[in-house]
């Protein structure tokens, strides 16, 4: 199965549709509650729930997800109700429209569970109608909407944020060690539709770090990411350097990074990362290890780019 351990836990939702076409006489039997197998829609709803819960057992690559909410609506095809969902040709036919909606808080979406649910509900209706109707047909199964995860990324990527990456490391500045985290951060930012205008390596020296950050703020670089100097060592000066000059704290960003990291290693609690704004620029300190830097960015990208609009007074 695909590795989804790097994904953020978010609220995800999906809406799907299925139709079972049937005869007018079947609809009359349903309305008069005279079907041989009894009540139709309560059983179909229960079958849909079971189908959703069993999706990972039916589809090999589907991860088990927590279904935090699911419901169905059943309506006979009606032009007034379904004109936006169905074509003119389908609106002329008789049948039952099944709409399923579900929510889940997790690392992967719930669209396959919702599609499976409406499909199984349609099959249950088919089974209950087959003694009285030989013209049954299931069709028009499709996803109507999904939210959460990748499907929400576009609202955070309406513009191309400008970024700078500052590597704070004595050994890297001396040429004793090659930079890995700064290069990784640059690649991840570019993959998130950001423009990395500056990349620089400096010793973990408070005055040098502050001077460089202030210069980038003066150039209106929107996001400044530092890497290194977030630990507890005697030369880990980056956090204190940044904390002294930020004007507005953004502790929620660092809480998200540490929480994301803590789910993967208990050592994440040692990170002293800080984030905040200077003028209209957001400064975020990341760990010096490539793994720590990658996980920290996975926790906040691309949502952190929305901070620029908030800084400019556009609110949420």
Alpha helices in the chain (DSSP H): 24-31, 41-53, 55-58, 79-82, 88-91, 111-129, 170-173, 181-191, 206-218, 238-245, 251-262, 290-300, 307-311
Pairing of strands 162-168, 195-202: parallel
Residue 97 is assigned to a structural domain of this protein:
yes
* For residue 262, pLDDT beyond 90: no
Domain boundary among 95, 122, 149: 149
Residue 30: domain span: 10-149
Same-domain check for residues 126 and 185 = no
Same-domain check for residues 100 and 161 = no
Residue 2 is assigned to a structural domain of this protein:
no
Strand partners, 12: 104
* For residue 268, pLDDT beyond 80: no
Same-domain check for residues 131 and 172 = no
> Is the bond preceding 302 in cis, omega lying within 30 degrees of 0?
yes
Task: Measure the CA–CA gap between 184 and 63, rounded to whole angstroms.
Answer: 28
Domain boundary among 149, 181, 199: 149
Please answer whether residues 120 and 50 qualify as being in contact, where contact means their C-beta atoms are separated by less than 8 angstroms.
yes
Same-domain check for residues 49 and 143 = yes
Q: What's the number of domains the chain is made of?
A: 2
Same-domain check for residues 71 and 215 = no
Residue 260 is assigned to a structural domain of this protein:
yes
Residue 44 is assigned to a structural domain of this protein:
yes
Residue 316 is assigned to a structural domain of this protein:
no
* Cβ count within 10 A of residue 306: 16
Same-domain check for residues 188 and 115 = no
Residue 199 is assigned to a structural domain of this protein:
yes
Domain boundary among 125, 149, 173: 149
Same-domain check for residues 65 and 191 = no
Q: Please write the tens of the pLDDT for every residue from 30-88.
A: 988 888 777 889 999 999 999 999 999 999 998 888 999 999 999 999 999 999 999 99
What's this model's pTM, rounded to 2 decimal places? 0.69
Task: Measure the CA–CA gap between 187 and 196, rounded to whole angstroms.
Answer: 9
Same-domain check for residues 68 and 179 = no
Q: Please write the tens of the pLDDT for every residue from 173-194.
A: 999 999 999 999 999 999 999 9
- The domain spanning residue 209 has which CATH number? 3.40.980.10
Same-domain check for residues 33 and 137 = yes
Same-domain check for residues 53 and 91 = yes
Same-domain check for residues 30 and 166 = no
Average pLDDT estimate for 124-137 = 93
- The domain spanning residue 86 has which CATH number? 3.30.70.640
Q: What is the mean pLDDT of the chain?
A: 90
Residue 239 is assigned to a structural domain of this protein:
yes
* For residue 4, pLDDT beyond 80: no
Same-domain check for residues 98 and 164 = no
Confidence of residue 109 (pLDDT cuts 50, 70, 90): confident
Q: Which residues are annotated as catalytic?
A: 127
Location of structure tokens 């691309």: 302
Q: Please write the tens of the pLDDT for every residue from 270-315.
A: 788 999 999 999 999 999 999 999 999 999 999 899 999 888 887 6
């Amino acid at each position: 199965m695909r590795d989804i351990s790097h994904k953020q836990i978010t609220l995800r939702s999906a809406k799907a549709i299925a139709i079972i076409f049937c005869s007018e006489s079947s609809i009359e039997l349903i309305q008069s509650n005279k079907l041989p197998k009894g009540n139709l829609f309560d059983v179909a709803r229960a079958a849909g729930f079971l189908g959703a819960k069993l999706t990972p057992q039916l589809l090999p690559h589907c991860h088990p997800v927590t279904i935090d909410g699911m419901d169905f609506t059943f309506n006979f095809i009606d032009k007034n109700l379904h004109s936006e969902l169905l074509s003119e040709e389908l609106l002329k036919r008789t049948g039952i429209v099944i709409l399923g909606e579900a929510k889940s808080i997790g690392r992967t979406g719930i669209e396959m569970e919702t599609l499976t649910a409406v499909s199984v509900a349609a099959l249950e209706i088919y089974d209950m109608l087959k003694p009285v109707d030989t013209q049954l047909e299931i069709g028009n199964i499709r996803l109507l909407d999904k939210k959460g995860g990748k499907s929400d990324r576009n609202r955070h990527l309406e513009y191309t944020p400008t970024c700078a990456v500052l590597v704070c490391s004595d050994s890297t500045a001396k040429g004793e060690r090659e930079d890995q985290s700064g290069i990784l951060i640059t690649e991840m930012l570019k993959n998130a539709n950001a423009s990395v205008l500056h990349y620089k390596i400096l010793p973990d020296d408070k005055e040098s770090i502050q001077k460089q950050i202030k210069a980038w703020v003066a150039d209106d670089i929107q996001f400044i990411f530092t890497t290194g100097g977030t630990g507890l060592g005697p030369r880990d000066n980056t956090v204190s350097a940044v904390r002294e000059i930020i004007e507005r704290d953004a502790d929620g960003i660092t809480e998200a990074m540490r929480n994301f990291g803590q789910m993967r290693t208990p050592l994440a609690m040692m990170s002293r990362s800080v984030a905040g704004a200077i003028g209209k620029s957001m400064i975020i300190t990341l760990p010096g290890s490539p793994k720590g830097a990658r996980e920290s960015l996975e926790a906040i990208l691309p949502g952190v780019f929305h901070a620029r609009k908030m800084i400019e007074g556009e609110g949420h």
